[in-house]
């Protein structure tokens, strides 16, 4: 068993094991303790620093780690009512009884087989149907055959960019036999760590390419490039990826274009049906499928389907938002969820596991992560457009910015960046253009604004009346 900290991977006999980001962070915490007890309070504070969760979340991830340890699962010890410890060879802890499996693992750790370096960067497994994305996957497969050096999937938070990229790579690997590699940069907030991970990946793939036929294509998926765009471009440039057409393609996911000279940008739209799409409604299909998976006995009446149609529209057809809405619907019922959205009240927070390492364990977390990296000018424009409650033209948005002290060029740059990151949609009416804030973004921005500018006691919201509570419950 190996833990590769530079890439946040666990290798078992040289093969990367799928593990959630929380479980990995928990394992690192136990390793750093060097056999000492790690209290439950410390785990909650360090693994979930910005989230309030129950203690049973720890047990879920401990169980996942024990499954990975297999025959040596007893190396992770539970100290009832106090916390957990990981028994390691040089730990200052009580040794297991001589002759036990745990003692054998500690005293004579098995020498792992020499790992295939490429296995460190193998594609994550994904399961379940991918609704409404076959046309996009078909189009992307065509782009790959055109030998682009860099293709960037760009879309709003929760639009499914990571899942699409991984699905495409799996299909290309299966149908064309091409070599693939995967790296999520979400785990590396610091530039030095990003660069080290990229160098390790690209160096490994160069070795793979050297061993393979010169005509064999390679596909590298760089996921979650939002905070590492410049580092990615520099690394790829230094490796000669932009020097001319080649047989290696990098498929990146990001919330805005990387702005590289050889970049092919592909936008990931929502799952809402386009005009003239007939009876096809992938957003509705996804919602119904997830609700039925969570609550098989839920009756799908005509009234429910109509409410569901309105609900997925209120979630802007974003897959991650729809997943959370389905989860809430299975627990609270569609009437309560619809009422909460109509009142612009936040849905309860639930943590979900994605197909790969990601920024977001919840839809609000995905939005909050992006919001935190917006400039003050972008936040000003977004708040103003949210308060307007209707689409607005560039002149009106620039005037709104000017009222808050923004020069014209800063306001225009902010508008362009918001469109690039899919926090604002651009609408055309002939030659005229207007900008609209999506429903999910508007609810989020309103919540952030109310938290940032808390009302005084004279305007503080009052507790719900009995009538309001009855209408929700």
The first and second tokens of residue 240, run together, are 């000669």
Residue (of 456, 459, 442, 438) closest to 384 by Cα position: 442
Q: Tell me the C-alpha distance between 326 and 323, whole Å.
A: 5
Q: Tell me the C-alpha distance between 72 and 102, whole Å.
A: 6
10-residue mean pLDDT profile of the chain (473 residues): values are 79 77 88 85 83 74 85 81 74 38 38 48 84 94 89 92 94 87 84 86 73 70 90 84 70 91 90 74 93 89 94 92 90 90 68 48 72 90 92 93 93 92 86 90 80 43 40 42
The first and second tokens of residue 49, run together, are 């620093």
Q: What is the pLDDT of residue 446?
A: 84
Its pTM stands at 0.68
Q: Tell me the C-alpha distance between 417 and 425, whole Å.
A: 11
Quote the Cα angle for 140-143-144, to 5°: 90
Task: Determine contact, residues 355/166, Cβ cutoff 8 Å.
Answer: yes
Task: Determine contact, residues 283/271, Cβ cutoff 8 Å.
Answer: yes
Neighbours of 211 (CB within 10 A): 10
Neighbours of 208 (CB within 10 A): 19
Neighbours of 200 (CB within 10 A): 17
N- to C-terminal Cα separation, the chain = 50
Task: Determine contact, residues 75/105, Cβ cutoff 8 Å.
Answer: yes
Place of tokens 């990601």: 358
Q: Is 344 left (phi over 0), alpha (psi -120 to 50) or beta?
A: left
Q: In whole angstroms, how large is the CA radius of gyration of the chain?
A: 25
Beta-carbon contacts of 460 under 8 Å, excluding residues fewer than 6 positions away, are: none
Q: Is 147 left (phi over 0), alpha (psi -120 to 50) or beta?
A: left
Q: What is the pLDDT of residue 254?
A: 93
Say how many CA atoms lie within 13 Å of 94 toward its Cβ: 5
Quote the Cα angle for 384-390-393, to 5°: 75
């Amino acid at each position: 068993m190996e833990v590769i900290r530079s890439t946040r991977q666990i290798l078992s006999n040289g093969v990367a094991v799928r593990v959630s980001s929380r479980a990995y962070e928990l394992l690192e915490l136990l390793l750093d303790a060097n056999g000492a007890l790690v209290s439950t309070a410390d785990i909650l504070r360090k693994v979930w620093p910005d989230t309030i969760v129950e203690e049973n979340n720890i047990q879920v991830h401990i169980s996942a780690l024990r499954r990975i340890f297999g025959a040596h699962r007893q190396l992770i010890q539970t100290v009832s009512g106090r916390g957990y410890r990981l028994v390691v060879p040089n730990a200052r802890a009580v040794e297991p009884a001589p002759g036990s499996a745990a003692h054998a693992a500690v005293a004579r750790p098995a020498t792992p087989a020499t790992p295939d370096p490429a296995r460190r960067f193998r594609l994550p497994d994904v399961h379940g149907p991918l609704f409404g994305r076959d046309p996009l996957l078909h189009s992307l497969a065509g782009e790959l055959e055109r030998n682009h050096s860099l293709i960037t999937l760009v879309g709003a938070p929760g639009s499914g960019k990571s899942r699409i990229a991984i699905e495409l790579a799996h299909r290309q690997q299966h149908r064309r036999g091409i070599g693939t590699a995967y790296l999520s940069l979400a785990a590396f907030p610091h530039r030095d760590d990003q660069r080290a991970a990229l160098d390790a990946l690209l160096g490994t793939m160069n070795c793979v390419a050297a061993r393979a036929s010169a005509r064999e294509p390679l596909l590298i998926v760089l996921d979650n490039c939002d905070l590492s765009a410049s580092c990615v471009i520099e690394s790829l440039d230094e490796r000669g990826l932009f020097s001319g057409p080649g047989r290696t393609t990098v498929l990146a996911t990001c919330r805005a274009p990387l702005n590289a000279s050889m970049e092919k940008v592909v936008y990931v739209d929502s799952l809402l049906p386009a005009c003239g799409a007939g009876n096809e409604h992938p957003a509705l299909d996804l919602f119904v499928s997830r609700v039925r998976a969570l609550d098989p006995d839920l009756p799908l009446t005509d009234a429910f389907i109509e409410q569901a149609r309105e609900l997925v529209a209120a979630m802007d057809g974003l897959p991650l938002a729809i997943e959370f809405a389905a989860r809430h619907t299975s627990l609270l019922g569609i009437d309560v969820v619809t009422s909460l959205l109509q009142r612009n009240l936040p849905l309860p927070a639930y943590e979900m596991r994605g197909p790969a390492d990601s920024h977001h364990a919840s839809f609000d977390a995905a939005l909050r992560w992006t919001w935190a990296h917006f400039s003050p000018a972008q936040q000003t424009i977004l708040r103003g457009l949210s308060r307007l409650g209707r689409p607005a033209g560039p002149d009106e948005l620039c005037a709104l910015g000017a009222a808050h002290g923004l020069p014209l060029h800063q306001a225009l740059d902010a508008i362009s960046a918001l469109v690039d990151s899919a926090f604002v949609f651009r609408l055309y009416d002939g030659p005229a253009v207007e900008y609209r804030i999506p429903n999910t973004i508007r609810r989020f921005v309103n919540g952030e604004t109310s938290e940032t500018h808390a009302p005084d006691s004279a305007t503080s919201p009052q507790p719900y009346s009995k009538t309001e509570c009855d209408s929700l419950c």
